[in-house]
Structure 1
Amino acid sequence: MATVSRVVNHNHNVKPATEQKVMEVVKRLNYRPNDVARGLASKKTTTVGVIIPNVTNSYFAALARGIDDIAEMYQYNIILTNSDGDEQKEVKALNTLYSKQVDGIIFMGHELCPAVRVELEAERIPVVLAGSVDPDNEFPNVNIDYQAAVHNQVNNLLASGNQRIAFVAGELNRSINRDFRIPGYQAALSAQQQPVATELLFEAGNYDEGYALCDDLVKNRVTAAMVSNDEAAAGIMNGMNDRGITVPGQFEVATSDNTKLTEMTRPTLSTITQPLYDVGAVAMRLLTKLMDNQVVEQKQVLLPFGLKQRGSTKAS
């Protein structure tokens, strides 16, 4: 048994002839190591659970790629679950991952709902949030400074002479918007003595909702929009063009995620740039340290962001 274990675990302290014999039998019997049994013996499954709100969203897909590459580097397997951003599905996904005896969890979502927070607090396994904020800073997390990023992007829109700038997000009351992006948007307006009006806060979380929002934007005499979602930004831009309002000549659009979509539109979309791959990679590396009981001094990591001015704004 010990010899077989050394061979299948790639421990080279076995004579070549013996290793060849073992591998021949392994192949003939189609043997696979039992990870469950191995985990029971070692108290470690070398498996990490990842909860993602939308596997088709290129923003979260980029984060997941970074997570997977670092997991492979440190010889961890990934169990990926899709929650659709639904609180009940998030709780169910957590319980499923717990039943698989995962060694750690990376949570990607728009925010931590109370039910999810309770579940995460109840289990004594490491958790890291990737691209997801925790206003209480209870859990380790990796993000950018969303407040500063929006503040800087709105400043660019103000510099172009816009006085009616809308802020558009999928759900305004979500923590990332309520506690970070909206304060950045409002601070930029206040610094330029521009009115901070609630009538300029709108909700649109995908292409169709962004397209449909254009009538309300026109009705409220909006001349520029700071959008939290690339799909919604593309919908707004196309909606304006279809209404005979040129972008960026008569209306400017800036977005937040710098996904591939921002380069596929015409004009291309000005955006906040985020190191999405790095957010996932750093989150996974942080989790490996926590799973190994290493001392981690910095558990709230802010990675650098930038601004990419493209064709949808006059400052391009």
Structure 2
Amino acid sequence: MTVTIYDVAREAGVSMATVSRVVNNNPNVKPQTRKKVFEAIERLGYRPNAVARGLASKKTTTVGVVIPDISNSIFAEVARGIEDIANMYHYNIILCNADKKKEKEIRVVNTLLEKQVDGLLFMGGTVTAEHIQAFKTASVPVVLCATTDDQEQFPSVDIDHERAAFDAVQALLDMGHQEIAMICGNLNDPSNGLARYQGYKGAMENAGLSVKEQYVRAGNYRYESGMEVMEHFIGLSPRPTAVFAATDEMAIGAIHKIQDHGLKVPEDIAVMSVDNTRMASMVRPQLAAVAQPMYDIGAVSMRLLTKLMKNESVENMKVILPHELVMRNSVSAK
């Protein structure tokens, strides 16, 4: 039999209203009465009905999180930052994987809103007009995490992806490389795709170098596509002396393809990426990368959302966190 608030009240010899006040941490309860209620709760194994409490307070203390690819370690680190801050402010999270598919992302957003979450974090992925429409119909705050919308209509936390790519390519240029190729992402993706390509292009043009069409190929952010694109680069003449990849996975795929051809990294071809996941230090040679503060992106996003849910004042609705160059053995001077 399910233990009810009525059972606890009868066991403790108090009213149901008193039990409710104790469960909801209302200070207007005598310490002796509070102790008596908690003892009854423990004896009976009572668990408050979160749904009923949510209906009464119109708050569920639950946050919905849309994640583009739960198998990708970089998003796992963001989720960890979200979870830690959520716990600190006594929120639970519902984590939903959307497989980087627009239709599924919007369906998941609508499902979470139907679940009466108190706030929504949309992590990664391209924010389209359809996403904007879904967010606008929400009666709760929405924060974009590790992405932004073009019109900056919604609060967001991210890095400057264009500047991060620029700094990575500039580091290669400073080492004497000029024949620099790029394994980019989807150019319809404003952050990982387009912005990082624009950073690469900007650094090359700033150095007075043209961007060769055959030196730019798009991958799907995964290891296998890095190998495929690197196969194309190795067949070029002249062959690039350095490759900048938009993700660690594609960069590691490139390293292994270079090695499969009997070439050496970085002596024959240097490789650099953006992300700096754990894999970057696990591969050999270790991968040079622009480090994104992924945990901090998640933590700051969740903190921003808590402020919005509590109607606290927010000074900056667009937060840009700093990135950092981490130089390792996959790059060297030409």
Corresponding residue SS for 2:103: helix
- Give the Cα–Cα distance (whole angstroms) in 1 for the partners of residues 194 and 261 of structure 2: 34
- Give the Cα–Cα distance (whole angstroms) in 2 for the partners of residues 295 and 137 of structure 1: 18
Q: 304, 308, 311: which one pairs with 2:322?
A: 304
Q: 195, 208, 212: which one pairs with 1:193?
A: 208
Query: Which residue is 1:313 aligned to?
Result: 331
* Most deviating of 139-148 and 33-42: 33-42
TM-score by length of 2: 0.89
Q: CA deviation at 1:295?
A: 2.4
Q: CA deviation at 1:13?
A: 5.0
Query: Which residue is 1:5 aligned to?
Result: 20
Verify: 1:90 aligned to 2:108, yes or no. Answer: no
- Give the Cα–Cα distance (whole angstroms) in 2 for the partners of residues 25 and 227 of structure 1: 60
Q: CA deviation at 1:83?
A: 0.6
Q: CA deviation at 1:39?
A: 1.6
Residue type matched to 1:259 in 2? T
Verify: 1:136 aligned to 2:154, yes or no. Answer: no
Residues 219-265 of structure 1, C-alpha deviation per residue, up to 9 Å, x if partnerless? Answer: 23222111111111111101101111110001011111111000100
| CA pair 80-71 structure 1, distance change in 2 beyond 3 A | same
- Give the Cα–Cα distance (whole angstroms) in 2 for the partners of residues 44 and 8 of structure 1: 15
Say which one has the larger Rg. 2
Residue type matched to 1:31 in 2? Y
Verify: 1:170 aligned to 2:185, yes or no. Answer: yes
Q: Tell me if structure 1 keeps the 8 A contact 2:266–2:329.
A: yes
Q: Tell me if structure 1 keeps the 8 A contact 2:182–2:215.
A: yes
Q: 77, 84, 88: which one pairs with 1:73?
A: 88
- Give the Cα–Cα distance (whole angstroms) in 1 for the partners of residues 194 and 259 of structure 2: 32
Alignment of 1:151-300 (within 5 A): 151-177=166-192, 179-204=194-219, 205-220=221-236, 221-300=239-318
- Give the Cα–Cα distance (whole angstroms) in 1 for the partners of residues 212 and 272 of structure 2: 19
Corresponding residue SS for 2:275: coil
Residues 256-281 of structure 1, C-alpha deviation per residue, up to 9 Å, x if partnerless? Answer: 11110001000100000121111111
- Give the Cα–Cα distance (whole angstroms) in 2 for the partners of residues 198 and 141 of structure 1: 33
- Give the Cα–Cα distance (whole angstroms) in 1 for the partners of residues 193 and 83 of structure 2: 31
Residue type matched to 1:299 in 2? M
Q: Tell me if structure 2 keeps the 8 A contact 1:170–1:206.
A: no
Aligned length in residues: 316
Residues 144-173 of structure 1, C-alpha deviation per residue, up to 9 Å, x if partnerless? Answer: 111111111101111222222122133232
Q: Tell me if structure 2 keeps the 8 A contact 1:127–1:140.
A: yes
- Give the Cα–Cα distance (whole angstroms) in 2 for the partners of residues 300 and 199 of structure 1: 36
Q: Tell me if structure 1 keeps the 8 A contact 2:193–2:246.
A: no
TM-score by length of 1: 0.94
| CA pair 292-20 structure 1, distance change in 2 beyond 3 A | closer
* Most deviating of 204-213 and 66-75: 204-213
Q: CA deviation at 1:12?
A: 5.9
Residues 96-139 of structure 1, C-alpha deviation per residue, up to 9 Å, x if partnerless? Answer: 10111011101112211332221111112111111112222111
Residues 183-203 of structure 1, C-alpha deviation per residue, up to 9 Å, x if partnerless? Answer: 211111011111122322212
Q: Which stretches in structure 2 are left out of the alignment for 5+ residues?
A: 1-15
Corresponding residue SS for 1:289: helix
* Most deviating of 78-87 and 16-25: 16-25
Q: CA deviation at 1:47?
A: 0.9
Q: 70, 93, 102: which one pairs with 1:55?
A: 70
Corresponding residue SS for 1:256: strand
Residue type matched to 1:216 in 2? H
- Give the Cα–Cα distance (whole angstroms) in 1 for the partners of residues 233 and 307 of structure 2: 47
- Give the Cα–Cα distance (whole angstroms) in 1 for the partners of residues 104 and 30 of structure 2: 50
Q: CA deviation at 1:49?
A: 0.5
* Most deviating of 175-184 and 276-285: 175-184
Q: Tell me if structure 1 keeps the 8 A contact 2:184–2:196.
A: no
Alignment of 1:85-124 (within 5 A): 85-124=100-139
Q: CA RMSD in A?
A: 1.8
Q: Tell me if structure 1 keeps the 8 A contact 2:62–2:94.
A: yes
- Give the Cα–Cα distance (whole angstroms) in 2 for the partners of residues 21 and 294 of structure 1: 36
